[in-house]
Chain A
């Protein structure tokens, strides 16, 4: 995979690397781990290869009235919902949706998350993807995200204690079929709003994003079928932070969150048995494969001042922390929450979009707009 290798040799090496990841997962952790690694790799390839993202489309919707990426997100979520709702209704003992309560801290944290993801130019999955594709800014943010999401687990109980509603799902409120109908109608309504607000030449979803939306919905559905739970990102990153903290000598198992049986088990067991860690690793590796598959990789982000790098690291920490308190990021809360009927997914989207709007105003104060624009003008999906 050296830059000096011919393209066919390099691509053969990349294919071997992908195969090694799948076979290695199979040998060490069994067939389910191998399948989930494949799902993660597929998501990484689709997201990076087809430039499908979350944070970027939210940004250009506001700044350029370009609704194409946001509309593609709604399509992907709607397609995933068409699969998830019937499956969850038919197999309630084997599959679980991304259902969480709406709460005071959850809403505030979603707002903060939205703001921070416009500072680091990537959401939870976007940070993984961008880091895998060689974006130095995202790699720094990812390290912060891992630390922040771990810190978030240490205080999560306090935050949720500030006030939460019970868990509401649309299928619970309206019934199975009507719940799906309300979800699709809600997505269609949002889509109509975005379509109307978009510039006339920036409202038709390009073929590339149609394909990406279809693939991502398919892979997210496979994640549900294989793992028994919806696609997520943040839990795995917090667990990675917990593993590092434990290795550094902290008694992580004694903390409230990590002493709960479900989390204690994850802390004790290998990451290769953790659903979210497997797909996260696959996402990052898949993005790397997609980046190196190209004849010429995109240019690196521009150099930042030392203080700006510190801002990126801090924003990554806050983003990880807030994602944990918000009970998910664009994937776990928005994509998976909405596509499996959780009311909190809708509330998360509204709060995070508001935060994203604020983040766009905040970013030029923290980083010069010129360099940030230059970064995104390179075509990176963030």
Chain B
């Protein structure tokens, strides 16, 4: 694990890697679309939570 970093030629530039990252998100959304129940547009939450009268229903990393 103590290998020195060796130059291996030119890596793809930032624009290409950024596009790859966006492509990864697109792949994620395609996989998600196949795995998830379709979104019901008539069951969308209120525009903003504040003043909606509804308890927050989202999940958060602080929840065990």
Q: Interface on A for B, CB 8 Å cutoff?
A: 1, 3, 28-33, 35, 87, 91, 93-96, 98-101, 131-136, 139, 142-143, 156-157, 160, 164, 225-230, 232-235, 238-240, 243-244, 246-247, 262-263, 265-266, 268-276, 281, 284-285, 287-288, 291-292, 297-305, 307-308, 311, 323-324, 327-329, 332-333, 336-337, 342, 344, 365-368, 370-371
- Give the Cβ gap from B37 to chain A, nearest Cβ, in Å: 6
14 A-B pairs with CB atoms under 8 Å apart are A28-B39, A100-B63, A134-B17, A225-B50, A228-B54, A228-B55, A235-B60, A275-B58, A297-B13, A305-B5, A305-B8, A327-B61, A333-B62, A365-B2
Output the nearest chain A residue to B16 by Cβ-Cβ distance: A134
Residues of A within 8 A of B52 (CB): 94, 228
Question: 4 more A-B contacts (CB under 8 A) besides A100-B62, A228-B57, A263-B59?
Answer: A32-B45, A230-B62, A276-B61, A297-B13
Contact A368 B4 (CB under 8 A): yes
Within 8 A of A (CB), among B10-28: 10-22, 24-25, 28
**Residue from B21, B36, B53 in contact with A139 in the complex, judged by beta carbons closer than 8 Å:** B21
Contact A284 B15 (CB under 8 A): no
Contact A266 B59 (CB under 8 A): yes
Output the nearest chain B residue to A270 by Cβ-Cβ distance: B36
Contact A240 B44 (CB under 8 A): no
Contact A247 B49 (CB under 8 A): no
Q: How far is the CA of A310 from the CA of B1 in the complex (A)?
A: 10
Residues of B within 8 A of A136 (CB): 11-12, 17
Tell me how many residue pairs across A and B have CB atoms closer than 8 Å: 236
Contact B1 A99 (CB under 8 A): no
Residues of A within 8 A of B18 (CB): 131-134, 287-288, 291-292
- Give the Cβ gap from B33 to chain A, nearest Cβ, in Å: 7
Residues of A within 8 A of B58 (CB): 227-229, 274-276
**Residue from B1, B25, B55, B61 in contact with A366 in the complex, judged by beta carbons closer than 8 Å:** B1
**Residue from A94, A238, A272, A327 in contact with B56 in the complex, judged by beta carbons closer than 8 Å:** A94
Residues of A within 8 A of B39 (CB): 28-29, 269-270, 272-273
Q: How far is the CA of A272 from the CA of B45 in the complex (A)?
A: 12
Output the nearest chain B residue to A252 by Cβ-Cβ distance: B35
**Residue from B9, B14, B34, B35 in contact with A297 in the complex, judged by beta carbons closer than 8 Å:** B14
Q: How far is the CA of A212 from the CA of B32 in the complex (A)?
A: 33
Q: How far is the CA of A372 from the CA of B46 in the complex (A)?
A: 46
Residues of A within 8 A of B44 (CB): 29-33
Residues of B within 8 A of A95 (CB): 49-50, 56
